[in-house]
Amino acid sequence: MTTTLDWYGCSTFRLNTSGLKIFLDAYIDRVDDAPGSGLTADDIDHCDWIIVGHSHFDHVYGAERIAINTGAKVIGGYETIRILHNDGVPLEQMICVAGGETIDLGNKVSVSVFPSQHSCVWSHDRPIDSDEVCIGDLGVLWQDRQERFAGIKDWMRSLDEASKQHIRSSFQGARGDGGAFVYLFHMPDGTLLYQDTSGHWTGIFEDLQPDVAILAAAGRGNINGEPTQGSLAEFVAHQANLLDPKKVILSHHDNWLPGFSIDTDIEPIRAELRRTVPSTELIDLQYLDGTEILPIGEVVS
3-class SS of residue 164: helix
- In terms of pTM, does the model score above 0.85? yes
- Which helix or strand (DSSP H or E) is residue 208 part of? none
The DSSP call for residue 207 is T
In a domain, 182, yes or no: yes
What is the residue range of 92's domain? 3-294
Q: Give residue 234's region: left, alpha or beta (phi > 0; psi -120 to 50).
A: alpha
In a domain, 300, yes or no: no
Length of the chain: 301
Q: How far apart are the first and last CA of the chain?
A: 24
The DSSP call for residue 138 is T
In a domain, 172, yes or no: yes
Report pLDDT digits (tens) over 68-126.
999 999 999 999 999 999 999 999 999 999 999 999 999 999 999 999 999 999 998 78
pLDDT at 153 over 80: no
- Encode burial over 21-48: b for 16+ CB neighbours within 10 A, e otherwise: bbbbbbbbbbbeebebbebebeebeebb
- φ, ψ for residue 128 (rounded to 5)? -115, 125
Report pLDDT digits (tens) over 182-217.
999 999 999 999 999 999 999 999 999 999 999 999
**Residue 188 CB neighbour total at 10 angstroms:** 13
**Residue 169 CB neighbour total at 10 angstroms:** 10
In a domain, 272, yes or no: yes
In a domain, 301, yes or no: no
CATH number reported for the structural domain that contains residue 59 in this entry = 3.60.15.10
Distance CA 268, CA 212 (A): 20
Residue range 31-35: mean pLDDT, rounded: 92
Question: Contact 218/235 with Cβ under 8 angstroms?
Answer: no
Distance CA 59, CA 286 (A): 19
Question: Contact 77/161 with Cβ under 8 angstroms?
Answer: no
Count of structural domains within the chain? 1
In a domain, 102, yes or no: yes
